[in-house]
Amino acid sequence: MAEPFFTLEAEISTDDAQALGAVLAARLRPDEIAQVPGGLRVSCVLQGPSAKELNRELLSYLRRAVKKTRLRARWQAGGVTERYFDYVFKGRDG
């Protein structure tokens, strides 16, 4: 069975937005990366087993590049949106 596609809308807080922007562009091929005060706003589509697993992989990857990184993410697939703050599940809509 093929893994589902998830739409990611994320706000990333960091002290080094330029470094993370380059890392994200190389790794995710995002639809959009926008620099905002205190970090980045990212949107893209990723394929994986679950929103939880994709969120964990993304945050771990970001923190390897820049240790002080915070991730607020919304993952949507099949009409369901899951929200995360760092590694912590914050709720489900839909």
Give every residue of the chain whose pLDDT is below 70, as ranges: none
Buried b (16+ CB within 10 A) or exposed e, 33-57: beeeeebbebebebebeebeebbee
| pLDDT for res 45 | 95
What separation in angstroms does the CA of 33 have from each of 2, 21, 66, 72?
27, 7, 17, 14
